[in-house]
Structure 1
């Protein structure tokens, strides 16, 4: 009986995952990413005090977020229509989009590995990460209104 309950639970979970909305999923991840980057940016700009442990925690959260981006799952064919700001260029240049995402993930991982010891080191890391964000926003995102 226990095995049957587990099997049914696994099937229900798989079915709910199959019904997930890639547009809503990627928007949720990007919204989370924006909040994390916003917090890190405030420290880099001097709007909040630098605390090495807190910054590292935020960078680790950013890395966890970055690693959740599965381009194939979140940007499948047909998810370019509806309530999305994903540009058609994503599907026209999937290799370039994946390369841009891979660079972003690598830069976030490097920032975590380097664990900035002061605000100047953080500024350099935020610059690299921000450049990656800008690349995607300029090339692979439709500008809002």
Structure 2
């Protein structure tokens, strides 16, 4: 009986994963990313005090977020319509889109590895990551009305 319950649970989970909505999934990841970066930006600007341990924790959370951003899963063909600001250029230039996301992930990993010692070092890292975000948003995102 126990094996049957486990098997049914596994099938239910697999079935729900098959019906995951890539638009909602990528929007959730981007909202989380924005919240993390927003918090780091406040520290970098001096609006909040610098705490090295807290900053490193936030950078690690940002890295975990970036590592979950699987372009193939989140941007399959057909997910360009609906409630999304993902631009058509994503599907026209998938290699370029992946390259921008790969650069972002590399820059986030570098920020974690460097573990900024002060707000100035963090500001440089936030500026680099922000530039990556800007590149992607300018090239691959539809601007909201």
Specify the TM-score bucket, using the shorter chain as the normaliser: over 0.9
Q: 2-side partners of 1:88 and 1:11: how far apart?
A: 34
Per the alignment, residue 126 of structure 1 pairs with 126
Q: 2-side partners of 1:3 and 1:97: how far apart?
A: 44
Per the alignment, residue 86 of structure 2 pairs with 86
Q: 1-side partners of 2:14 and 2:124: how far apart?
A: 42
Deviations 1:71-120 (A, max 9, x none): 00100000000000000000000000011111101100110011000111
Residue ranges of structure 1 left out of the alignment (5+ in a row) = none
Shift of 1:29: 0.6
Q: What is the aligned residue count?
A: 145
Shift of 1:129: 0.4
Per the alignment, residue 26 of structure 1 pairs with 26
Q: 1-side partners of 2:4 and 2:106: how far apart?
A: 42
Q: Secondary structure at the match of 1:126?
A: helix
Per the alignment, residue 43 of structure 1 pairs with 43
Q: What is the TM-score normalised by the length of structure 1?
A: 0.98
1:4 aligns with 2:16: no
List 4+ stretches of structure 1 deviating above 2 A. none
Deviations 1:11-63 (A, max 9, x none): 10010011111001100110011000000000001111111011111101111
Q: 1-side partners of 2:13 and 2:104: how far apart?
A: 30
- Give the superposed CA RMSD: 0.7
